[in-house]
Amino acid sequence: MEITEILGYSGALFIGVVLGLIGGGGSILTVPVFVYLMHINPITATAYSLFVVGVSTLIGTINNLRKGLVDLRTAFVFAIPAFIAVYATRKYLVPAIPDTLFSIQEFMITKNIGIMIFFAIIMLLTSISMIKNNKKDVEPETKVVYNYPLILLEGFVVGVLTGIVGAGGGFLIIPALVLMAKLPMKKAVATSLLIIAIKSLIGFIGDLENLDIEWNFLLIFSVISVIGIFIGMYLSNYIEGKKLEKGFGWFVLAMGIYIIIKELT
């Protein structure tokens, strides 16, 4: 086993630990781990990421369901347009993207480079959301009010983004649940994990006909991530996850900048 593979599997554990500690965000590193450490094609990497993200967030969702933090009605209202969009994106839109997006003299942006740059932009937006970290610990319960047109539109947009880059999109979902469904922050965070789990796994189904999946590798990677989640949940009894979120946000910011520089040079 090469050193990069060892680092890749270590990355799987780290992703799980972060998810267990701060409840989200760690999955944004899944694609870079697959691409730069496991040397997997970006298209396949985004598909594998959907599976890992889906399985990982499903574990977190089960834990949140036990605590009564998940608003099931809101989750399914938001998830329906999201999973339709993510499935269609993986099955039809991603395969239809041309291999060469554009070229200027000798400078060429290929499909793989374009996806990684777009992914890096999503990383930058996610990092800003983490660094701001304006979540409040306690918020009063308010009656859930649905703005259906905006929720449907937001769900569709998040589904397309998830389908392209293979990331959960929690930084878009959580504000939408707070602003459009009037959910308290804790419920919004917990409910977003269920939405991410559903749409990620359904998006992965859209890839099954288009890609050859190395199931042994993918399942091993996912199991290691899940083990990391349980380690993170245990550590969360002793470490305040919110304090780590801002630091992790700066790390994601640096990774996003690194990916842009690497892909363009």
Q: What is the 3-state secondary structure (H, E, C) of the chain?
A: CCHHHHHHHHHHHHHHHHHHHHCCCHHHHHHHHHHHHCCCCHHHHHHHHHHHHHHHHHHHHHHHHHCCCCCHHHHHHHHHHHHHHHHHHHHHHHHHCCCEEEEECCEEEEHHHHHHHHHHHHHHHHHHHHHHCCCCCCCCCCCCCCCHHHHHHHHHHHHHHHHHHCCCCHHHHHHHHHHHCCCCHHHHHHHHHHHHHHHHHHHHHCCCCCCCCCHHHHHHHHHHHHHHHHHHHHHCCCCCHHHHHHHHHHHHHHHHHHHHHHHHC
pLDDT at 178 over 90: no
Instruction: Please give the pLDDT value at position 59.
Output: 85
pLDDT at 222 over 80: yes
pLDDT at 230 over 70: yes
Query: Using CA atoms, how far apart are residues 179 and 189, in angstroms rounded to an integer?
Result: 13
pLDDT in tens, 48-106: 998 998 898 888 888 888 888 888 888 888 888 888 898 899 889 988 999 988 888 77
Instruction: Please give the pLDDT value at position 23.
Output: 66
How far is CA 109 from each of CA 63, 146, 161, 257, rounded to the nearest angstrom? Answer: 42, 41, 19, 17
Are 193 and 72 contacting, i.e. CB atoms less than 8 angstroms apart?
Answer: no
Instruction: Please give the pLDDT value at position 13.
Output: 93
pLDDT in tens, 90-146: 889 988 999 988 888 778 889 989 989 988 998 888 888 778 865 554 454 556 566
Are 202 and 217 contacting, i.e. CB atoms less than 8 angstroms apart?
Answer: no
Provide the residue type at 252 as one letter. V
Instruction: Please give the pLDDT value at position 210.
Output: 84
Could you give phi then psi for residue 100, rounded to 5 degrees?
Answer: -115, 115
